[in-house]
Amino acid sequence: MLFYAALLPGLVDLAKLTWRELGLVASMLVVVIGGVNTGYALLASRARRFFANPSAQRAVRRVAGTLMFVAAALVLTRV
């Protein structure tokens, strides 16, 4: 949240804001950033349940192995 607050002066002239507008901007930041972080938490929770499944782990290992094989083939064919 501090990162976005640091960007705020470049987007909004803070000297001209009234207390009401400043409160509105602060509440918008909290709602938007809080919503994004909540979305990340929900996505992480679903990913945790997905990766706990043995068949999903097997699929992830196969995909990772295939990607490593492709990367090795690309490196090998590069002259």
Number of folded domains in the chain? 1
Give domain status of residue 57, yes or no: yes
Phi, psi (rounded to 5 degrees) for 18: -85, 170
In a domain, 15, yes or no: no
Residue-range definition of the domain harbouring residue 56: 20-77
pTM of the model: 0.60
**23 by DSSP, 3-state: which?**
helix
Distance separating alpha carbons of residues 70 and 59, to the nearest angstrom: 16
In a domain, 54, yes or no: yes
Residue 50 lies in a domain: yes
pLDDT tens digit sequence for 17-72: 899 988 988 898 889 989 999 999 999 999 999 999 999 999 999 999 999 999 99
Q: Is 48 part of a structural domain of the chain?
A: yes
In a domain, 2, yes or no: no
